[in-house]
Structure 1
Amino acid sequence: MQSTVEFDSELFSPYLPDESQVNPHCYGAELAYWLSRKLADHGIVTSYPNAEDWGWFIEYLTESGDEFWLCCSNRNSSAKQWQCFIEAKTKRLFGRNKPKIECAKSLLKALCCILEEEQEVKNIRWCKEPWITDWANRPE
Structure 2
Amino acid sequence: MKTQVRFRSKKFPPYESEEEQLNPGIWGKRLAEYLATRLAEKGIETGEINAEDWGWFLPIKTTGPAIALCCGHQDGEDDEFLCFSEPSTPVVRKLFNKVDLTPQLSRLLGAIEQILASDPDVREVVWEEPR
Q: Same fold (TM over 0.5)?
A: yes
Alpha carbons of structure 1 residues 13 and 101: separation in structure 2 relative to 1, 3 Å: farther
Match of 1:23 in 2: 23
Match of 1:124 in 2: 125
Alpha carbons of structure 1 residues 54 and 16: separation in structure 2 relative to 1, 3 Å: same
Alpha carbons of structure 1 residues 42 and 53: separation in structure 2 relative to 1, 3 Å: same
Alignment length (residue pairs) = 127
Q: TM-score, normalised by structure 1?
A: 0.79
Match of 2:46 in 1: 46
Match of 1:135 in 2: none
Alpha carbons of structure 1 residues 60 and 91: separation in structure 2 relative to 1, 3 Å: farther
Alpha carbons of structure 1 residues 45 and 125: separation in structure 2 relative to 1, 3 Å: same
| Aligned partners of 2:7 and 2:125 also within 8 Å | yes
Q: For 1:43 and 1:83, how far apart are their aligned partners in 2?
A: 23
Q: For 1:105 and 1:49, how far apart are their aligned partners in 2?
A: 21
Query: When you count strand as a share of all residues, which structure comes out higher?
Result: 2
Q: TM-score, normalised by structure 2?
A: 0.84
SS of residue in 1 equivalent to 2:115: helix
Q: Shift of the alpha carbon at 1:73?
A: 1.3
Q: For 2:58 and 2:25, how far apart are their aligned partners in 1?
A: 20
| Aligned partners of 1:5 and 1:127 also within 8 Å | yes
Q: For 1:101 and 1:75, how far apart are their aligned partners in 2?
A: 27
Q: For 1:87 and 1:21, how far apart are their aligned partners in 2?
A: 21
Q: For 1:43 and 1:12, how far apart are their aligned partners in 2?
A: 23
SS of residue in 1 equivalent to 2:124: strand
